Amino acid sequence: MKTSSTSIANVLSIAGSDPSGGAGIQADLKTFSARGCYGMAAITALTAQNTQGVSAVQALDPGFVAEQIRMVFADVRVDAVKIGMIANAGIASAIAGALRPHRGIPVVLDPVMIAKGGASLLDPEAVAVLRDELLPLATLLTPNLPEAAALLGEAEAENRRVMESQAVRLAVGGAAAVLLKGGHLAAADSPDLLVLGESVHWFEAPRIETKNTHGTGCSLSSAIAAELAKGLSPYDAVAVAKDWLAEAVRLSGTLSVGSGHGPVHHFHALWQ
């Protein structure tokens, strides 16, 4: 849904909570604000985590997740939706059911499966539900290489040729478009691949040497959702979001948060 020139876009995040503030709902809301949108949140799961890892996850009742989404749509104009951590199959199905009456609104699906520290954030049974029920609702799917491999049930891509093959097959399998993130490649650069219909677009980027990468996937998908909510095309939304995130990662060292994988600097353009 494209907002009017005088209306601030409203974006809904459906994701888990990160009490340390670097990922999940907290990162999504910061991103929406940084990109000039009004952020809303339906929480799927509570986590106990910090920059060093996740110690516990408490998934919410699927019916309650669906009710959060229903109440937002019943009262607020929603211009785009970002889906992050869904935790289990019941929640995935509940989200799909809650969003089906609202087809036409841009949906960015970030298939959060594994935390930076290695903890599993998605029940294996939920992968099939995500693939069968949520993917067909998605305007854009934003997996990293391990997530793409899990969705396809095969080995992780180790080069650009396999990346392209996997991204194309994911697009054919459901989502309208796929942004496959290449940060896990063993290379000096960090290329991402966008598949839009019959077209393939590579976004080249140098690898930024930093340990402050907590919430990069959440923040990128949320930034894309914000730009889609403002009326940008998928290609332009990805380009703008990637440029913003690159600066957020590059300037992350100006923050001092935790001793593990620190967060990116969402408000790098606003804070002095």
d(C-alpha 211, C-alpha 26), whole Å: 19
The answer to whether the beta carbons of residues 88 and 124 sit under 8 Å apart is no
Active site residue 142: no
d(C-alpha 204, C-alpha 16), whole Å: 30
- Whole-model pTM over 0.75: yes
DSSP code, position 156:
P
Kindly name the residue from 217, 230, 242, 262 that is annotated as catalytic: 217
The answer to whether the beta carbons of residues 78 and 111 sit under 8 Å apart is no
Q: What angle do CA 25, 116, 65 make, to 5 degrees?
A: 30
In this predicted structure, the answer to whether residue 161 has a pLDDT above a threshold of 70 is yes
Kindly name the residue from 47, 174, 182, 218 that is annotated as catalytic: 218
Active site residue 90: no
Structure confidence by residue, pLDDT tens digits, 214-266 = 999 999 999 999 999 999 999 999 999 999 999 999 999 999 999 999 999 99
d(C-alpha 43, C-alpha 38), whole Å: 17
In this predicted structure, the answer to whether residue 1 has a pLDDT above a threshold of 80 is no
Residue 250 backbone phi and psi in degrees, to 5 = -60, -35
For the chain, state the CA radius of gyration.
Answer: 17
In this predicted structure, the answer to whether residue 115 has a pLDDT above a threshold of 70 is no
Residue 16 backbone phi and psi in degrees, to 5 = -90, 165
Active site residue 213: yes
Q: How far is CA 21 from CA 82, 103, 186, 215, 236, in A?
A: 17, 31, 29, 9, 28
d(C-alpha 231, C-alpha 141), whole Å: 18
Residue 57 backbone phi and psi in degrees, to 5 = -135, 135
Q: What angle do CA 132, 183, 44 make, to 5 degrees?
A: 45
Q: How far is CA 90 from CA 97, 123, 270, in A?
A: 11, 10, 39
Task: Give the 3-state secondary structure of residue 124.
Answer: helix
Do the bridges between strand 192-196 and strand 199-203 make them parallel or antiparallel, or are there none, so unpaired? antiparallel
**E strand intervals along 155-207:** 177-181, 192-196, 199-203
Kindly name the residue from 31, 44, 142, 216 that is annotated as catalytic: 216
Kindly name the residue from 30, 116, 181, 242 that is annotated as catalytic: 181
User: Which pLDDT value is given to residue 3?
Assistant: 59
Name the token pair of 166.
């996997």
Active site residue 37: no
Helix, strand and coil percent figures for the chain, each rounded to 5 = 40, 20, 40
Structure confidence by residue, pLDDT tens digits, 181-215 = 987 776 767 889 999 988 999 998 888 889 998 99
Kindly name the residue from 213, 231, 258, 260 that is annotated as catalytic: 213
User: Which amino acid belongs to residue 167?
Assistant: A
User: pLDDT-based confidence at 126, cuts 50/70/90?
Assistant: confident
Q: Mean pLDDT across the stretch 95-101? A: 98
d(C-alpha 95, C-alpha 92), whole Å: 5
Residue 14 backbone phi and psi in degrees, to 5 = -115, 105
